[in-house]
Structure 1
Amino acid sequence: MPRASRVMPMLSVADMAASRRFYETILGGRLAYAFPPEGEPVFLTLSFGETEIGLGVLEEKGVHGRPLRPASGHRVELCINVDDVDTTLSALGAPIVMSAIDQPWGERAAYVEDPDGNLIMLVAPIG
């Protein structure tokens, strides 16, 4: 049976500069790849430890020929582990969907929206 060797979420973004600032500058992602390599990228990947996220400029349809956004709602949310949820929440300046709350599974969690309205769950261990 074939086995996957890597899974990387890729988000379609309307404003690459705003999204890059959110994920790279504020959340600390490290640029791993950019296309084109010179000038303003239309696609890039950012590393967070051993994981990566891809950001691609939103077009009407992707290379697969299908629309890149659902008609309503959202299809994916990202869970990002941070050192301190409350400090990160105030530093982001992003719209808060759910304030920081201690969860019964042992993490403090909050939800924000990124510049494109994608839901981001920020989590850190309690204590």
Structure 2
Amino acid sequence: MNLSATRIVTDDVDRLVTFYEAVTGTTPTRLHELFAELRTPTGTLAIASSRTVPAMGSGVAEAGANRSVVLDFLVDDVDAAYARLRPVLTDLVREPADMPWGNRSLLLRDPDGNLVNLFTPLDAAARDKPTTAP
């Protein structure tokens, strides 16, 4: 089994696509006005309109209601990413800081309130085998 994508359900696809395009530097693929994908070498972030939820079942997903998932993005330099993104960040959780498990990490929330972690391993050797947490 392979994880194909992580999908975020939102009431505003364009706003979230614009945000994650800035975070990842990846050009989105718009498969439909209600759906987009941002494909990276290691995974795909899908963004779907809340208008697609009824096709999956009544009330199975709710936009902007997540408080349990963290989206982790490995970046070359957390401090450079912070400097680049600072003008567009509206909800900074924590500025870059060194974590006890060996990462330098920046925490923010996307426009829907989902927690996003940008991280870089502190040890150059660990960059080949990054981990998001212990």
- TM score, norm. by length of structure 1: 0.78
| Aligned 1:1-127 pairs, distance under 5 A | 4-31=1-28, 33-36=29-32, 41-59=33-51, 61-62=53-54, 63-69=56-62, 74-92=67-85, 93-94=88-89, 95-126=91-122
Once residues 94 and 79 of structure 2 are traced to their aligned partners in structure 1, the CA distance between those partners, rounded to angstroms, is 12
Once residues 71 and 19 of structure 1 are traced to their aligned partners in structure 2, the CA distance between those partners, rounded to angstroms, is 11
- TM score, norm. by length of structure 2: 0.74
Show structure 1 runs of 5+ residues with no match: none
Poorly superposed stretches of 4+, deviation over 6 Å: none
Return the offset for 1:114.
Answer: 0.7
Q: Deviations over 1:40-76 (max 9, x none)?
A: x211111111210110012394422224228965132
Higher helix proportion, which one? Answer: 2
Report if aligned partners of 1:85, 1:109 keep a CA contact under 8 Å in 2.
yes
Once residues 65 and 15 of structure 2 are traced to their aligned partners in structure 1, the CA distance between those partners, rounded to angstroms, is 22
The residue identity in structure 2 corresponding to 1:52 is T
What value does the CA root-mean-square deviation take over the aligned residues? 2.4
Once residues 110 and 120 of structure 1 are traced to their aligned partners in structure 2, the CA distance between those partners, rounded to angstroms, is 8
SS in 2 for 1:69: coil
The equivalent of 2:127 in structure 1 is none
**Shift in CA distance, 99/30, structure 1 to aligned 2, threshold 3 Å:** same
Return the offset for 1:102.
Answer: 0.5
Once residues 11 and 78 of structure 2 are traced to their aligned partners in structure 1, the CA distance between those partners, rounded to angstroms, is 26
Report if aligned partners of 1:30, 1:48 keep a CA contact under 8 Å in 2.
no
Report if aligned partners of 1:59, 1:68 keep a CA contact under 8 Å in 2.
no
Q: Percent identity?
A: 24
Return the offset for 1:96.
Answer: 0.7
